[in-house]
Structure 1
Amino acid sequence: MSLGGDRDLLGVRVRAILDEWFWAVALVAVVVAGAGGYVAYTAYAAPGTTVEERQVSSWEGNGSYTTAATVTEPNPLYATGTELSDRPAYFLTVSPRLDGTFAFEYAASGGGSVDVAVEQTLVVRAVEEGEDGSTVEYWRIEEPLGTTDASGVTPGEPVRTTFSRNVSRVANRAANVTERLGGTPGSTRITVINTVALDGEVNGQPVERSATYRLPVGVDGSTYAPGETGGQAVTGSTTERITRERTYGPAWRVGGPVALLIGVVGLAGLTYGRYDGQLAVSVAERDRLDFESTREEFDDWITTARLPSAVLDRPRVDVDSLSGLVDTAIDVDARVFERPDGAAFYVPHEGLLYAYTPPRGEAVVADERDGASTGRPPDADSEGDGGADES
């Protein structure tokens, strides 16, 4: 029997650890209690405040293009005078004039009134893109297409301006410039540009902004194609700072009190056990712990067996430690035999019986007293005649 059973041995080991590392464990308990107290106090008594920004108003403005072309030349597809609108491409020989409309409007959460000025420009240029993504512009022609002004424009009210140009003539003009310059590297690009300027008040706040929107027109053989609108929306917002009480999740609101309770109870238990002597480990218990450690270390050399009486009656040589008995077994090339109750270890060799009796420990002594009251020792070992062979 080992210290009254595995549970008793585990209890002694725990007490030995707590006794040896008392101040370190106590410090851990203090830290846990302190951290738990701080977390609990913060979560319940002094959560503090946090400042957040909340959007109270916003606005956004954007521009867009619509295109159309009227059929002016006889052809097998469309009757003369037919208006073609928002097509991906138009034929230069059938409907060479591009009619376009640019519209700008804005939306606001709290109303507004602004003055809008739109300036239109037709830009024709020859450019070439380098391998590094840079753009080289060889020549550029700008032609004003007119301006539009509007006052007191409210949210949702569009400001429109129109333009009309013969794309075939513009393309021929660009080709003529290239020819007269002796040929130009790169490609010719045609772009309608609308620059919008805003000045006024939106959502109760002054606004002075500008934005540019581009409509590229690509010419490819007998067709021309308006491209996607280029440009970004203009936006604005108003925010306010709000101070509110900080809130904490379950990790703080539950974890803090639990950690505080564990730390305080643990520290109180350690202190009481220390000064009441409940953590003290006797000499016999420490000897038993040392023995159990050695027993586990040399388990491969030990066999549990019941030795015959003839072997147990041999002259006995007492060894003062289990490790010494194992060394003896190694020297004589024999096994170490352990009684089934763990009360003794033997190495029989050449008519002698080398023996070691382990420390019993206080729990085992108490078991023996209990066994005595029933008339049967707890480690009584009836040695049979057919056990391990004699060495």
Structure 2
Amino acid sequence: MLTVVFLLIMVFSGLWIYEKYTETSYEQEEVLSYTQYGTYTYSASVTEPNPLYPEGTRLEMGKAAYFFAVSPTLDVSFIYSFEAADSADLDVEAETMIVASGKEGSGEEQKIFWQKKFSVGDPITVKMENGDIFIYNFTLDMPETKLMAKKVQYQLNYSSDLAIEIVTTVDYEGKINGQKVKGTKNFAMPINIVSTYYQVPAELGSREDTYKNIRVKRDPSLSMIKFPLFLFFLNAILVGALIPIGKMKKIDTEYIEKIEKERKKAPFKEFISKGKIPENLNSLLQVEISSLKDLVDVASDINERVIHDTASGEYFIIHNGTLYIFFEDPSEEEY
């Protein structure tokens, strides 16, 4: 009974494996949709007589400091590019501002006490496709920038440190990878202005990746069928274990029956000989005995031996024209 149950479970789990392995399944996958790159490059031209550099010298990025008395103006280029996974067709507007502010604290606890923006030229609008690069050039008068920010600080009677950033705001609208998009991205260049010089970081590039979720077909994997596969193999093992156990039980029963018959015959073995019953019995008087024990008793009384015909399973005695016989099933084992 258990073997049948386990076989049914094997069939069920096999069908389950087939269904799981052949069914179409999908999953959400995050893929890169487009990337925006924005960076600043700059240089300062030496326009004032000084003991360090000849006039006309151009001071490139990475200097520790740029002195007002040597190079009061800063030439800046903002470089913006756009890369989509497939295609892009955008209207892009860029506007650059000088942002002066009073900040205290740092990180998430930083607070802006005040902020003032000053425009740097007019906004510029361009049309961009996938992989295009947009460059916006402008010049900053650093003493004037310092003066505008300090004026606000003075009017507010704010004595803490002053923060100045050049911020370019990029507004874009159109289609990316065939989908309508609209967004805004800010790119900042911090400037540290002190009494006689200003400082600008050497590394100013930044990027922003935008992802989207797509529905993709998932190939069948072992993880999808591991439970029904485990169930299938478990029941296969159980069936394989139960079949020989059943056979052993059958063998054990037959063996026990044989032993029992041998046990019953054991006391009579010394009175029995093997032989063959005569073919012509018509001349003999036939007496049927009900048991082997009774036949052995008769043999003892008349001083004869019991003859066993193994082919027919018959036990018999012939004495004085009389056949004494006991019939046994010929399939039974001999003694």
Q: TM-score, normalised by structure 2?
A: 0.62
Partner of 2:98: 122
Change in 2 beyond 3 A, CA 1:80/1:34: farther
Within-5 A mapping of 1:83-94: 83-88=58-63, 89-94=65-70
Partner of 1:42: 16
Matched residues in 2 for 1:196 and 1:174: separation?
24
Change in 2 beyond 3 A, CA 1:46/1:178: closer
Q: CA deviation at 1:108?
A: 2.0
Aligned letter for 2:181?
Answer: V
Matched residues in 2 for 1:112 and 1:57: separation?
14
Given candidates 179, 186, 190, the residue that maps to 1:212 is: 186
Given candidates 61, 66, 82, the residue that maps to 2:41 is: 66
> Where in structure 2 are there 5+ consecutive unaligned residues?
257-335
Q: CA deviation at 1:265?
A: 1.8
1:58/1:203 contact within 8 Å kept: yes
1:37/1:256 contact within 8 Å kept: no
Within-5 A mapping of 1:68-147: 68-88=43-63, 89-129=65-105, 133-145=108-120, 146-147=122-123
Instruction: State which drifts further: 48-57 or 118-127.
Output: 48-57
Whether 2:190 is the aligned partner of 1:190: answer no
The answer to which structure has the higher strand fraction is 2
1:123/1:142 contact within 8 Å kept: yes
Partner of 1:4: none
Partner of 1:6: none
2:91/2:125 contact within 8 Å kept: yes
Matched residues in 1 for 2:19 and 2:117: separation?
71
> Where in structure 1 are there 5+ consecutive unaligned residues?
1-25, 282-391
2:32/2:210 contact within 8 Å kept: no
Aligned letter for 2:103?
Answer: V
Partner of 1:202: 176
Instruction: State which drifts further: 162-171 or 211-220.
Output: 162-171
Q: CA deviation at 1:173?
A: 3.8
Matched residues in 1 for 2:214 and 2:162: separation?
46
Within-5 A mapping of 1:269-308: 269-274=244-249, 277=252
Partner of 1:168: 143
Partner of 1:268: 243
1:284-313 Cα distance to aligned partner (Å, 9 max, x none): xxxxxxxxxxxxxxxxxxxxxxxxxxxxxx
Whether 2:178 is the aligned partner of 1:226: answer no
Within-5 A mapping of 1:237-386: 237=212, 239-242=214-217, 244=219, 246-248=220-222, 258-274=233-249, 277=252
2:13/2:229 contact within 8 Å kept: no
Aligned letter for 1:118?
Answer: A
Partner of 1:306: none
Matched residues in 2 for 1:173 and 1:237: separation?
43
Partner of 1:343: none
Matched residues in 2 for 1:158 and 1:230: separation?
14
Aligned letter for 1:263?
Answer: L
Aligned letter for 1:94?
Answer: V
Aligned letter for 1:103?
Answer: I
Aligned letter for 1:200?
Answer: G
Q: CA deviation at 1:113?
A: 1.3
Aligned-residue Cα RMSD (Å) equals 3.7
1:88-114 Cα distance to aligned partner (Å, 9 max, x none): 442222112122111211112322211
1:54-93 Cα distance to aligned partner (Å, 9 max, x none): 6787321221111111111122332112222223442222
Q: CA deviation at 1:247?
A: 3.3
Q: TM-score, normalised by structure 1?
A: 0.54
Matched residues in 1 for 2:33 and 2:148: separation?
46
Matched residues in 2 for 1:75 and 1:107: separation?
45
1:199/1:207 contact within 8 Å kept: yes
